Chains A and B, each alone.
Chain A
Amino acid sequence: GENVEQHPSTLSVQEGDSAVIKCTYSDSASNYFPWYKQELGKGPQLIIDIRSNVGEKKDQRIAVTLNKTAKHFSLHITETQPEDSAVYFCAASTQGGSEKLVFGKGTKLTVNP
């Protein structure tokens, strides 16, 4: 089945710097790759997603890139702010019957003021 690896597990940056989180997946049939932000005591919140027919997508300070050949995708946050501090999860969709998401183990991002 699908396996998603996420790195790094923790990331600390200074306010205003950029942050990059990387994920790899194993199933070449996966075609949807969302990123979620989870704050303490809350459920995951979708922040950006990309489908396999697109190589890059940007939404203000957040961008995601996808390399289907290498089976990896990355989240880029520019001009980080303290409120960006949270745990970020990447995920890949699987097919075969019902669709479901397979998540990475998460990256705890800390933005220091």
Chain B
Amino acid sequence: ETGVTQSPTHLIKTRGQQVTLRCSSQSGHNTVSWYQQALGQGPQFIFQYYREEENGRGNFPPRFSGLQFPNYSSELNVNALELDDSALYLCASSLANRVYGYTFGSGTRLTVV
């Protein structure tokens, strides 16, 4: 059984640029949820993808968008990067849009300069 893998592990972007982060869900899981974790804080829900559609969204602006593919992997896209977007971005996979048994990846550390 493979776990959740995220790529890249680290990246540095300039304010105003766009970024794409990737997540492969755990084998057998069909739901991917994305969280933003600022330094010293708990993770905050961005959105969830289930059956290739956005299935719930937290308090994040439209410049945060995502995709889910037929193999259940997912992308998080952020446009017009701001300094405050610097954070650890985590994806969690689960079954049938539930939170039970969330499996988190190790995250992507994004730094915006």
A interface residues with partner B (beta carbon < 8 Å): 4, 6, 32, 34, 36, 41-46, 49, 89, 91, 93, 97-106
Is the pair A98, B43 in contact by a Cβ cutoff of 8 Å?
Answer: no
Is the pair A32, B100 in contact by a Cβ cutoff of 8 Å?
Answer: yes
Q: A-facing mask of B96-113, CB < 8 A → 1, else 0?
A: 011111111111000000
Supposing A93-B99, A97-B56 touch, asked if A103 and B104 sit within 8 A by C-beta, the answer is no
| B56 proximity list for chain A (CB < 8 A) | 97-100
B interface residues with partner A (beta carbon < 8 Å): 4, 33, 40-45, 48, 50, 55-56, 58, 90, 97-107
Is the pair B99, A43 in contact by a Cβ cutoff of 8 Å?
Answer: no
Is the pair B99, A102 in contact by a Cβ cutoff of 8 Å?
Answer: no
Q: Is the interface of A mostly helix, strand, loop or mixed?
A: strand
Is the pair B107, A46 in contact by a Cβ cutoff of 8 Å?
Answer: no
The distance from the CB of B71 to the nearest CB of chain A, in whole angstroms, is: 20
Is the pair A41, B42 in contact by a Cβ cutoff of 8 Å?
Answer: no
Is the pair A98, B104 in contact by a Cβ cutoff of 8 Å?
Answer: no
Is the pair B90, A101 in contact by a Cβ cutoff of 8 Å?
Answer: no
Q: Which of B99, B103, B104, B106 contacts A41 (CB 8 A)?
A: B106
The distance from the CB of B96 to the nearest CB of chain A, in whole angstroms, is: 10
| A43 proximity list for chain B (CB < 8 A) | 4, 90, 104-107
Interface centre among B33, B42, B50 (most CB of A within 10 A): B42
| B97 proximity list for chain A (CB < 8 A) | 98-99
